[in-house]
């Protein structure tokens, strides 16, 4: 069975496994007070050109979203997200469990814009509704789309004008950045906070929360500890992010995943099939007849994303740091043979 189900089906980059093994018997402090975590934080600050940013390493994406959002909102404040947003759709009510409502806005391509935000913000009733305080976006989105630099700047300026915080979920950040023109420095300038995904970018586990806004930095680590997100063996995260941010490793992984997804898309188009949405990232959504989907499922693992009509459905195919060209070629060949 060849899996296109996710970008975390395999373990980790060989360089990460080697670094973990090489440092295994070296004694270090706990809870992020270790040489490897400090080095990783310095590398990330250097990449984004923001020495004053605070960086916190946690184990997963839901944990990153939960710990940050819960730390900055007052009890009566809410979050705005796209209806496809991960915090709304795939995190089992983690944010709501902290007492904060998620207000959703429909976005055809999964991306929020000032115009879409205004459709909700302009209808907020004083006192009798939760007070919107934070805008949540993802790059790339759950639909495989990505934000361009001009789009992020427009969102940032709108949020600034409305007193809203802007938080970017970067679970698939490398893929999203390599699909467009966003650069590290843009993330530091045009968000209050964001996180850089490791789990879906070649690490065993781990996400790096970066807080740019100085007013949100103080005492955040207390929230991490309270919610069980501060690992005693924080070195395990530090070593991995040190390896990811040495040189161009992080973005090169994103470029590789996108390249393989592009080859997969091209082959599917040449076979005569359409897509649910246009994507240049490592998530693609071809529309196939259900009979063909059933045949492909005998050899390949993937999600059937949503029905299109009685005879067809969109599936999701995801490439990873370890996807082989021969796996892509085999899928396309088998798809053609199904016609």
pLDDT tens column, 70-101: 999 999 999 999 999 999 989 999 999 999 99
CA distance 76 to 139: 27
* Domain assignment present for 169: yes
Q: Which pair of structure tokens corresponds to residue 22?
A: 């090489």
* Domain assignment present for 7: no
**Per-residue pLDDT averaged across 134-161, rounded?**
98
User: Tens digits of per-residue pLDDT, 12-40?
Assistant: 999 999 999 999 999 999 999 999 999 99
State which of 217, 244, 271 marks the end of a domain: 244
The confidence score (pLDDT) of residue 339 equals: 76
* Domain assignment present for 232: yes
Question: Is the whole model's pTM more than 0.95, yes or no?
Answer: yes
* Domain assignment present for 192: yes
Other residues' Cβ atoms within 10 Å of the Cβ of residue 249: 17
* 184 lies in the same domain as 257: no
The confidence score (pLDDT) of residue 127 equals: 87
- Say which CATH number the domain at 125 has: 3.40.640.10
CA distance 224 to 57: 10
* 205 lies in the same domain as 291: no
35 φ, ψ (degrees, to nearest 5): -60, -40
Query: What domain range is 323 assigned to?
Result: 251-337
Nearest to 259 by CA among 315, 320, 197, 334: 320
* 155 lies in the same domain as 58: yes
* 202 lies in the same domain as 304: no
* 236 lies in the same domain as 269: no
State which of 229, 244, 259 marks the end of a domain: 244
User: Tens digits of per-residue pLDDT, 254-292?
Assistant: 999 999 999 999 999 999 999 999 999 999 999 999 999
* 206 lies in the same domain as 289: no
* Domain assignment present for 3: no
**Per-residue pLDDT averaged across 169-192, rounded?**
98
Nearest to 95 by CA among 77, 109, 111, 113: 77
Residue 174 · residue 250 · CB < 8 Å: yes
* Domain assignment present for 4: no
* 113 lies in the same domain as 167: yes
The confidence score (pLDDT) of residue 268 equals: 98
Degrees to nearest 5, angle at CA 284 with 146 and 240:
65
Residue 243 · residue 15 · CB < 8 Å: yes
* 50 lies in the same domain as 91: yes
State which of 244, 278, 308 marks the end of a domain: 244
Nearest to 48 by CA among 191, 178, 153: 191
* Domain assignment present for 1: no
**Per-residue pLDDT averaged across 182-202, rounded?**
98
* 168 lies in the same domain as 293: no
* Domain assignment present for 6: no
- Residue 54 forms beta bridges with which residues? 211
* 240 lies in the same domain as 270: no
pLDDT at position 195 over 80: yes
* 62 lies in the same domain as 183: yes
User: What's the structural domain count of the chain?
Assistant: 2
Distances (CA, A) of 114 to 103, 119, 179: 15, 9, 22
Residue carrying structure tokens 């040489």: 35
* 186 lies in the same domain as 311: no
The confidence score (pLDDT) of residue 126 equals: 84
Give the dihedral sign, CA 271/272/276/277: positive
The confidence score (pLDDT) of residue 307 equals: 97
The confidence score (pLDDT) of residue 125 equals: 85
Give the 3-state secondary structure of the chain. CEECCCCCCCCCCHHHHHHHHHCCCCCCCCCCCCHHHHHHHHHHHHHHCCCCCEEEEECCHHHHHHHHHHHHCCCCEEEEEECCCHHHHCCCCCCHHHCCCEEEECCCCCCCCHHHHHHHHCCCCCCCCCEEEEEEEECCCCCCCCCCHHHHHHHHHHHHHHCCEEEEECCCHHHHHHHCCCCHHHHHHCCCEEEEECCCCCCCCCEEEEECCHHHCCCHHHHHHHCCCCCCCCHHHHHHHHHHCCCCHHHHHHHHHHHHHHHHHHHHHHCCCCECCCCCCCEECEEEEHHHHHHHCCCEECEEEEECCCCEEEEEEECCCCCCHHHHHHHHHHHHHCC
Residue 287 · residue 273 · CB < 8 Å: yes
Q: Which pair of structure tokens corresponds to residue 295?
A: 């045949």
- Say which CATH number the domain at 321 has: 3.90.1150.10
The confidence score (pLDDT) of residue 111 equals: 98
CA distance 6 to 317: 8
Cis peptide preceding 173, ω within 30 of 0 = no
């Amino acid at each position: 069975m060849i899996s296109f189900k996710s970008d975390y089906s395999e373990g980790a980059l060989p360089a990460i496994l080697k670094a973990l093994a090489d440092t295994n018997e070296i004694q270090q402090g706990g809870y992020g007070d270790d040489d490897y975590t400090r080095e990783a934080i310095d590398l990330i600050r250097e990449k984004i050109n923001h020495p004053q940013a605070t960086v916190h390493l946690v184990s997963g994406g839901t944990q990153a979203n939960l710990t940050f959002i819960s730390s900055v909102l007052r009890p009566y404040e809410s979050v705005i997200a796209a209806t496809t947003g991960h915090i709304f759709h795939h995190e089992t009510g983690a944010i709501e469990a902290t007492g904060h409502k998620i207000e959703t806005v429909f976005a055809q391509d999964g991306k929020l814009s000032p115009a879409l935000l205004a459709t909700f913000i302009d209808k907020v009733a004083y006192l009798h509704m939760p007070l919107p305080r934070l805008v949540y976006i993802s790059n790339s989105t759950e639909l495989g789309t990505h934000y361009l630099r001009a789009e992020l700047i427009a969102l940032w300026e709108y949020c600034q004008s409305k007193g809203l915080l802007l938080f970017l979920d970067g679970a698939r950040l490398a893929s999203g950045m390599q699909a467009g023109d966003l650069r590290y420095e843009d993330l530091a300038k045009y968000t209050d906070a964001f996180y850089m995904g490791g789990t879906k970018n070649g690490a065993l586990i781990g996400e790096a929360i970066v807080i740019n806004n100085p007013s949100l930095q103080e005492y955040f680590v207390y929230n991490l500890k309270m919610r069980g997100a501060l690992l005693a063996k924080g070195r395990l995260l530090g070593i991995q992010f040190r390896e990811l941010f040495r040189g161009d490793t992080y973005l090169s992984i994103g470029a590789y995943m996108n390249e393989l997804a592009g080859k997969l898309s091209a082959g599917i188009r040449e076979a005569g099939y359409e897509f649910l949405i246009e994507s240049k990232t490592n998530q693609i959504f071809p529309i196939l007849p259900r009979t063909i989907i059933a045949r492909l499922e005998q050899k390949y693992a993937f999600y059937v994303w949503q029905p299109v009509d009685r005879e067809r459905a969109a599936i999701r195919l995801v490439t990873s740091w370890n996807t082989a060209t021969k796996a892509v070629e085999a899928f396309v060949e088998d798809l053609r043979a199904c016609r």
